[in-house]
A = this chain, B = another copy of it.
Amino acid sequence: MVRFSFCLLLCLAVLPMLPPVPGAAAAGGSNAPEYTADGSLVFPANYREWIYLTTGMDMDYNPELANMDHSMFDNIFVNPEAYKAFVATGTWPDKTILVLEGRMAQNKGSINQKGHFQTTDIMARSIHIKDTAHFPGGWAFVGFGDSNTGRTFPKQAVCYSCHEQHAAVDTTFVQFYPTLLEIATKKGTLSPSYVKEEAANAKK
């Protein structure tokens, strides 16, 4: 179960049949991270109105793990302020918030006969955030169950080392965000380790 979460452990945040998040109707205002009094990250209510980056389906970084008994889409969103900075610079500014939303996939329904579409069942929610004032080292992975306040994964979690080793830009999997991959490639901000890994993959 190593689906297209930001990291392996974030699968702990997968919610079987979680009721859907209500339609996010908030508009305007700041998209800076918010924390509770005890320092827990608050899940952004209006993330569906942020910038969309990509969707994967049933992605898995480990071929030997068992299949799940259903299919899932993973949608990625980022706060507009961070997106604009990435378009300008090819990398992420402080206060970047990447949201992963996992949705149950359905095969047959309405007039659809083949393939898959997304349903109202949200199965996972997690965040990869860069906030130097709040997290030592800047970046942190935060899981959300059915709560709107998150649980930060410790630095020893494998998500940090995996992203450090394999991410295309600044510990983020920009290799799976097609419009941003093009920008980073043009601006020369791809990480040396990623470029080396891709060169090795190309020889296989």
Contacts and interface: CB of A to CB of B under 8 A. Distances in A.
B110 A56 contact: no
A114 B24 contact: no
A151 interface: no
A178 B2 CA distance: 25
- Looking at chain A, what size class is its interface with the partner chain? 35 or more
Q: Say whether chain A's binding surface is mostly helix, strand, loop, or mixed.
A: mixed
A61 B112 contact: yes
A181 B120 contact: yes
Contacts of A116: 56-59
A166 interface: yes
Interface of A: 3-4, 20, 22-25, 27, 48-49, 51-52, 54-63, 73, 75, 77, 80, 83-84, 87-88, 103, 105, 109-120, 162, 166, 168, 173, 175-176, 178-183, 197-198, 201
